[in-house]
Structure 1
């Protein structure tokens, strides 16, 4: 465990302090309370990782304060509607396990039960992969693996540890990689449409047309989080490790040689309009550091990690005179549905708004910093 004194001047602690001071209520924006959103879970998983690394209770209290706005005493969740069958809505559920362990309050277990129930009826492709959302039928998006799979696996290991159910988690990654991987680059396309009817889907492959950085970031974060939990004797464990190392090798090919980080559209670094993007780069750094720490990537990857981590700081971070951390160059959002503009084209991905201190980026950056600094401390 890291001593709090040793990390207070490192980027993880400074970022966490900036978030707590700027947004004590993550769910409140411009005086209005937000909806149950996966963004909070990304930020708060960073706080959970920092709490685990330091033992500093202020981080656990921040998680509980923000989740208690949503989780009611009977386990119901403010703003959550199961019938939407939106895989994004499961992401905050990951926090229920730590809250339940720390406080013993049954409401967190009941909330986890409620979210787990969604997966009983959540629609699937013909092979058993979860749709991204009810309103996006027959579609697998890379994003959804991070939103659903780590929560699903931890719930099963704790309360439904049948191996057949664990297979249902690993199958999600195997099917996703099968349908989204590009043989030429080793990269993963953002999404796949089983029916080949979406405007963005290839008529033969069903794949969307581009490699969006954050979607691949979601995928590799999901892989390391699931592999950390999955018993290494599970029959699919090695398959998931291979998917992870294969994807990381592909990302290494497209790492920007100067900055060490990654572009919004990963393989189009020299194309007009493309830019180095903070959230995707942070997610990849997190997966790199965790992959090295837990042994799925050999130590020969450390120079790649060090270059990437240095790039996160030099390319995206500005510290104010007050000591607040600002994270620049975050793509605000990029989806594949809802309007004709969201067509998965190169022009679409580079035209989406770029935001400072987007919660998805800040959360991924906090995770990356904590994981990297923990790894470096463990080496010392």
Structure 2
């Protein structure tokens, strides 16, 4: 109670019970619960989506350093979290949230429209994702530097190296490889750019066709016909050590890889014209996807790091993929792409996150635990895509790939 008394003189006489009570009442405090309530950084009477946004803003006061970065950088995790923040802002009109989003673009786009820490020649699909922030801000600000930066990212898509059948390499340093991750990194941006900024109708149609083609190729090369699940990567050259020498696919079904792909499907459908010939194919892919995903959903509502091997030693129920599946299924059902019967799976997924992987600090800050920090294929040191590799990568709390998806899932389910 002493902490509630601001005056030193009052503190001195606070040993007197009556005096203490009078002071407490005068200041509006009558019990310890009210004291804790007054100290909340994140109020607990808000929706989970806003609570997580405010928690992220508390953890990372500078949006340029989301993902535990020591220096500002242009990266895909910023785009995911800030895109989710934008949806929260549109519902709450909390100016601090908008300012947080704007501060990222303001810091990373210079006066001439160049993107700091970005190099087009890297042809890295991960770098496209934060373009979503620019697509959101430009109509509000009309700042030409944001428009120029968007066009730069679109130019990367125009020149991105491709496999022989037209699939985007994930990065120039990963030749002949398509990863599930890449569909989410690039295709929602590309489709939205075509819809909102490509004035040449023929060019816009070409972009839409190309976007759909990326999903066609993933279905062709990465989908396992037996389970309906999708392998994390596909190497056309079949030269990578992680690649099956007959099919070119990696060995396992990684939770977050599948999560990226599902989110890509439901978000691209927001921008693909209703009369586009590929739209029904994408909806078919989404239905196949959801059918496969719910079959490997754990009784807790969560999903395993290696999706189809829940009983295998070392595997664990992982937060980022679980949040992504929850969001994808919920949005797919609400949009009418999949049956409403799957909403029970989405709600079960969200409850699983809250009951098992979410913790709330005394100050109200929300944490998402058991997040796989990172996973990839190849590179140096070499990532072989084995079961041991996926379960052995670092596990941490509040990975933005999870918190961003959690915000989106919370919004979609109105939790």
Say yes or no: does 1:307 pair with 2:344.
no
Say yes or no: does 1:201 pair with 2:243.
yes
Q: Who is 1:170 aligned against?
A: 212
Q: Distance in 1 between matches of 2:387 and 2:109?
A: 39
Q: Is the 8 A contact 2:44 2:364 kept in 1?
A: no
Q: Deviations over 1:241-286 (max 9, x none)?
A: 01111011100000001x1010100000100000000000111111
Matched position secondary structure for 1:229: coil
Displacement of 1:359: 1.5
Q: Who is 2:293 aligned against?
A: 251
Q: Deviations over 1:98-138 (max 9, x none)?
A: 10011111111111001111112110001111000000000
Q: Who is 2:145 aligned against?
A: 107
Q: Distance in 2 between matches of 1:268 and 1:341?
A: 23
Displacement of 1:58: 2.6
Q: Distance in 2 between matches of 1:175 and 1:241?
A: 15
Structure 1: segments with no counterpart, 5+ residues: 1-5
Matched position secondary structure for 2:367: strand
Q: Who is 1:121 aligned against?
A: 159
Q: Distance in 1 between matches of 2:282 and 2:118?
A: 31
Q: Distance in 1 between matches of 2:106 and 2:112?
A: 12
| Residue of 175, 183, 186 corresponding to 1:145 | 183
| Residue of 267, 281, 284 corresponding to 2:308 | 267
Q: Is the 8 A contact 2:359 2:366 kept in 1?
A: yes
Structure 2: segments with no counterpart, 5+ residues: 1-42
55-64 or 41-50: which moved more? Answer: 55-64
Q: Is the 8 A contact 2:228 2:292 kept in 1?
A: yes
Displacement of 1:31: 8.5
Q: Deviations over 1:191-225 (max 9, x none)?
A: 00001100011111000000000000000001000
Displacement of 1:72: 1.2
Displacement of 1:294: 0.7
Q: Who is 1:157 aligned against?
A: 195
Q: Who is 2:4 aligned against?
A: none
Q: Distance in 2 between matches of 1:31 and 1:211?
A: 28
Q: Distance in 2 between matches of 1:31 and 1:98?
A: 23
TM-score by length of structure 1 reads 0.94
Displacement of 1:303: 1.3
| Residue of 78, 87, 90 corresponding to 1:52 | 90
Q: Who is 2:324 aligned against?
A: 283
- Structure 1's 28 and 266: CA in aligned 2 closer, same or farther, altered over 3 A? same
Q: Distance in 2 between matches of 1:233 and 1:85?
A: 31
* RMSD over equivalenced CA pairs, Å: 1.6
Paired positions, count: 368
Matched position secondary structure for 1:140: strand
Displacement of 1:28: 3.2
Q: Distance in 2 between matches of 1:211 and 1:43?
A: 24
Q: Is the 8 A contact 1:341 1:348 kept in 2?
A: no
